[in-house]
C-alpha cells in the first residue's frame, strides 16, 4: 500500500508539535477517507430530510438508506438489504437484540458467551439472568484462545443461543466459529457473531458461515459511527423488539428506533465502496472479497514486522496467538516490564504514536489472565493506511525507552 492510499485520508498528513502522527489505534476506530467525508457532507448539501415522505429530499433519503442496506448486505455476503438494520453502534443494537430475543426464552433456557468477548457481547446476555436464563461462560486459555473442549461441554439441548466474537479486539485471536456453528446446529441453537474486530481485516460471508445474527460497526472499517446488524431472513420478524406502534413493524426496520443518522448512513455506503476499490472482480462482492485478501496480506506483513521488533525487546512480553497462527487479526497487545500500559501509552502518545492501553472493554479477558491488576496491556493495531515507516518509527521510539 502506498502514498496514493495515504493521500486519500486527510487526517494522515496532520502534524502535531512538528512531528508526524502514527496511527496504530485502528482497533478503536480507523481514519476516514475523503470519499466517505464527501458522501456525508453531500447528503447535507443536497438531500437532508426525514424519511418516508412525498417530496424530493425525503425520497432521496429513502433511496440512500436502502442503497446502503444493499451495499452492507453485499459486504457481509447477506441475502439482500432486507437483512440489514442500522443502529447507533454495535452495543446499542446488541442490547436491543437481547431484549427482543429474551421474549422467546423460558426460565432454564441457556445462552453461551465467552470470557474473551468485548463486554458489549456479554452484558446484554448476562442481563437475562434476571429472568431465569442460564448464561454460561466459555473459558479463555492463557494463550488468548478459547477452550473449545469447554465450549463443547457447555453446549447442550437447552442452549438457545451462542453469542461470541469472531475476532478478539484485545489479542487479535480469530475464533473457530465454523466449529461452533456445527455444535449449535446439532442442538438447534442460534449463533450470533460479534464481527466488529473481524470486519476491517477479513471478508465475511454470513451465508457460508451460517450465522443467525452478526453485528459490526462501520467506524472500524473507514466509515462513520454507525452500528450494523445482519439477521437471517425471517428471523427478526419472529422477535418482538421494543418499538413504537407508529414505526414499521417488520424487518429490517422493527429493531431501529427513532430517526436514523442518514448522513452517516450515506458514509457507510461510501466506506464499503472504498474497501471494494482495493479489489478486482466482476461483481462488487468479488471485489470486496479480493480487496479484503489484499488488505489482510498488507496488514499481516506489517503486524509481523511489529511483532518481531517488539519481541526482540527484552522488556516486552507479547500476549495472544503468535504471528505463526493460521488466521490472525493484525492486533498486538503487550506489557513492558517496569512500566504500566498507561505509562507506555502516554510515552508513545507524547510522540504522536496513537495506541490504546487498558482492557478495551475486553475486561473479562484481562481479569481471567491476571492482566487487570497490572492495569491492562498496550495495544497496537494495523490498518490499510499503515506503512513500514510507521512501524520503523514506532519501534525506534520503543527502543529509546530502555
Ligand X SMILES: Cc1ncc(COP(=O)(O)O)c(C=O)c1O
Contacts with ligand X, residue ranges (CB under 6 A): 89-91, 118, 120, 165, 169, 194, 196-197, 217, 227
* Residue from 339, 218, 302 nearest 267 by CA: 218
Q: How far is the CB of 165 from ligand X (least distance, A)?
A: 5
- Helix, strand, or coil (residue 284): helix
Beta-ladder partners of 46: none
User: In terms of CB distance, is 95 or 148 closer to ligand X?
Assistant: 95
Q: How far is the CB of 127 from ligand X (least distance, A)?
A: 16
Please, what is the Cα angle at 226 between 235 and 164, to 5 degrees? 50
Residues 6+ apart with CB under 8 A from 248: 254
* Cis preceding linkage at 268, omega within 30: no
User: In terms of CB distance, is 47 or 120 closer to ligand X?
Assistant: 120
Q: Give yes or no for a contact between 281 and 287, defined as CB atoms under 8 angstroms apart.
A: yes
User: In terms of CB distance, is 1 or 218 closer to ligand X?
Assistant: 218
Q: How far is the CB of 164 from ligand X (least distance, A)?
A: 11
Q: How far is the CB of 90 from ligand X (least distance, A)?
A: 3
Q: How far is the CB of 170 from ligand X (least distance, A)?
A: 8
User: In terms of CB distance, is 287 or 359 closer to ligand X?
Assistant: 359
User: In terms of CB distance, is 88 or 352 closer to ligand X?
Assistant: 88
Q: Give yes or no for a contact between 125 and 131, defined as CB atoms under 8 angstroms apart.
A: no
Q: How far is the CB of 106 from ligand X (least distance, A)?
A: 28
User: In terms of CB distance, is 217 or 394 closer to ligand X?
Assistant: 217
User: What is the dihedral angle through the alpha carbons of 301, 305, 307, 313, rounded to the nearest 10 degrees?
Assistant: 180
Residues 6+ apart with CB under 8 A from 60: 46, 47, 49
Amino acid at each position: 500500500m502506498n502514498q496514493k492510499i495515504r493521500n486519500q485520508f486527510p487526517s494522515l498528513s496532520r502534524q502535531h508539535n512538528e512531528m508526524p502522527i502514527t496511527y496504530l489505534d485502528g482497533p478503536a476506530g480507523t481514519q476516514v477517507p475523503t470519499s466517505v467525508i464527501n458522501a456525508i457532507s453531500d447528503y447535507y448539501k443536497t438531500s437532508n430530510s426525514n424519511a418516508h415522505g412525498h417530496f424530493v429530499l425525503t425520497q432521496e433519503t429513502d433511496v440512500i438508506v436502502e442503497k446502503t442496506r444493499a451495499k452492507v448486505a453485499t459486504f457481509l455476503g447477506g441475502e439482500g438489504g432486507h437483512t440489514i438494520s442500522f443502529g447507533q453502534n454495535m452495543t446499542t443494537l446488541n442490547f436491543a437484540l437481547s431484549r427482543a430475543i429474551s421474549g422467546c426464552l423460558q426460565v432454564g433456557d441457556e445462552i453461551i458467551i465467552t470470557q474473551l468477548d468485548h463486554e458489549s457481547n456479554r452484558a446484554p446476555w448476562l442481563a437475562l439472568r434476571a429472568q431465569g436464563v442460564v448464561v454460561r461462560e466459555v473459558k479463555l486459555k492463557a494463550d488468548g484462545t478459547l477452550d473449545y473442549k469447554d465450549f463443547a461441554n457447555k453446549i447442550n439441548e437447552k442452549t438457545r443461543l451462542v453469542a461470541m466474537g469472531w475476532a478478539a479486539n484485545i489479542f487479535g485471536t480469530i475464533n473457530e466459529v465454523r466449529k461452533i456453528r456445527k455444535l449449535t446446529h446439532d442442538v438447534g441453537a442460534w449463533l450470533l457473531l460479534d464481527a466488529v474486530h473481524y470486519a476491517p481485516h477479513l471478508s465475511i460471508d454470513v451465508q457460508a458461515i451460517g450465522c443467525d445474527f452478526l453485528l459490526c460497526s462501520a467506524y472500524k472499517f473507514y466509515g462513520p459511527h454507525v452500528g450494523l446488524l445482519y439477521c437471517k431472513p425471517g428471523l427478526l420478524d419472529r422477535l418482538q423488539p421494543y418499538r413504537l406502534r407508529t414505526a414499521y413493524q417488520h424487518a429490517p426496520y422493527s429493531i431501529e428506533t427513532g430517526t436514523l443518522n442518514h448522513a452517516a448512513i450515506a458514509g457507510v455506503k461510501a466506506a464499503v465502496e472504498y474497501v471494494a476499490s482495493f479489489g478486482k472482480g466482476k461483481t462488487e462482492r468479488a471485489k470486496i472479497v479480493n480487496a479484503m485478501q489484499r488488505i489482510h496480506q498488507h496488514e499481516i506483513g506489517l503486524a509481523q514486522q511489529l511483532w518481531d521488533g517488539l519481541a526482540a525487546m527484552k522488556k516486552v512480553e507479547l500476549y495472544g496467538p503468535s504471528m505463526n497462527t493460521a488466521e490472525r487479526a493484525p492486533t498486538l497487545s503487550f506489557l513492558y516490564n517496569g512500566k504500566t500500559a498507561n505509562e507506555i501509552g502516554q510515552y508513545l502518545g507524547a510522540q504522536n504514536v496513537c495506541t490504546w492501553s487498558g482492557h478495551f472493554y475486553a475486561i473479562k479477558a484481562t481479569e481471567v489472565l491476571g492482566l487487570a491488576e497490572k492495569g491492562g496491556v498496550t495495544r497496537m493495531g494495523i490498518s490499510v493506511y499503515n506503512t513500514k515507516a510507521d512501524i520503523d518509527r514506532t519501534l525506534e521510539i520503543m527502543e529509546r525507552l530502555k
